[in-house]
Chains A and B, each alone.
Chain A
Amino acid sequence: MAPLPGEVLIDKPGKGAFYATQLDLVLRTKSITHIVLTGITTDVCVHTTMREANDRGYECLILSDCTGATELGNHTAALRMVTMQGGVFGCVATSEAVLAATTTGDHHAG
């Protein structure tokens, strides 16, 4: 998982990756509109970041098999919270669906 030279590394003091960091500035400078979320833990730092991104207008996709939590119940509940009410916080997919979409160029999959 080691970052490559040139990849952005954000040091954050909280759970959310936006609060008190330059993440929003970096994303807007790069004209990024969509975010694929992975990492840990699903219900704490990943979810807080996804909520922050959602309020800031980014389209978010969280990968169910590339996130994890200390308790399986919190992991599954966090994923279900994303897709309720028509996707209140965004979308959920597996890494397989993303990889299939990237290789075929079908950006509507997942």
Chain B
Amino acid sequence: MPADYLPTDQVTVLADPGPFGFNPARTALLLIDMQRDFVEPGGFGETLGNDVSLLQAVIPPLRQVLAATRAAGMTVIHTREGHRPDLADCPPAKLNRGSPTMGIGDVGPRGRILIRGEYGHGIVDELAPLPGEVVIDKPGKGSFYATDLHQLLQTAGITSLVVTGATTEVCVHTTVREANDRGYECLVLADCVGSYFPEFQQAGLAMITAQGGIFGWVAPSAAYLDALSAVSPATASAATDGERS
């Protein structure tokens, strides 16, 4: 949906450990690694024995958040974890990890695993990037290392991030830590981040808000949608449409 209204009022989300205030014109929604291979049944993630239903559960609330954020005219950024086909950007320390039977670059159920351009490397259809939305291809867990994310955010005048995606304790957490060190204010939406392991979902969120919010804030997506609709009423209907479509 094309944005015709970009609220610049300060928006306040009821969050933990306290209110999270942000200016929509200086805030980006980050969708981390919602790729077919991690999220979809029959993909690489499930092949390794993981319960992908825990990541599937993220899609409906995240669709609402995505639709409302687009309706508000805010910046939307997607990331994908993956490597060049020749693995020139995959350190041995990463390549030699994980399952001995199926690793990075091997042929998996959705194409070569974690290789850019393969079907499984793509973002799930429900959250597909629109033309003009930035897609960051990252070789690591963090979205900042060896990418131009920081430069893009600086150029766009972004100071705050609303963070969503997978998985909570790995790529989401690493990215939030990087963002925090770089001076960005981060709000993590609890029901829009997912982990294969419920224990780590909980521990990951708790680590963010520990010690008065050492890495940022955590809130349910409903609190974010409520806050956004207060300054941009169009976002409320967009969120509802996003849920249905």
Which residues from chain A sit less than 8 Å from chain B, CB to CB?
Answer: 13-16, 19-20, 43-44, 47-48, 51-52, 54-60, 70-71, 73-74, 77-78, 80-81, 84-89
Contacts and interface: CB of A to CB of B under 8 A. Distances in A.
A43 B174 contact: no
Interface of B: 48, 91-94, 97-99, 139-142, 145-146, 169-170, 173-174, 177-178, 180-182, 197, 199-200, 203-204, 206-207, 210-211, 214-215
Contacts of B178: 16, 19, 52
Of the listed residues A20, A74, A77, the one surrounded by the most CB atoms of chain B closer than 10 A to its CB is A77
A3 B28 CA distance: 42
Nearest to A53: B93
Nearest to B99: A86
B97 A88 contact: yes
Contacts of B215: 15, 44
13 contacts: A14-B182, A16-B177, A19-B182, A44-B210, A44-B215, A51-B173, A54-B94, A55-B174, A57-B93, A59-B93, A60-B93, A77-B199, A85-B48
Given A44-B210, A54-B93, 8 more contacts: A44-B214, A44-B215, A55-B146, A58-B93, A77-B203, A86-B97, A87-B97, A88-B97
A77 B181 contact: no
Contact of A48 (B93, B169, B181): B181
Dominant secondary structure at the A interface: helix
A110 B139 CA distance: 28
Contacts of A73: 203, 206
Dominant secondary structure at the B interface: helix
B207 A78 contact: yes
Nearest to A86: B98
A3 to B, nearest CB: 23
A51 B174 contact: yes
A76 B147 CA distance: 31
Contacts of A54: 93-94, 140-141
A77 B200 contact: yes
Contacts of A15: 177, 180-181, 214-215
Contact of A81 (B48, B98, B140, B169): B169
Given A19-B182, A48-B181, A85-B48, A77 B207 contact: yes
B196 to A, nearest CB: 8
A88 B169 CA distance: 11
A10 B203 CA distance: 29
Given A19-B178, A77-B203, A52 B142 contact: yes
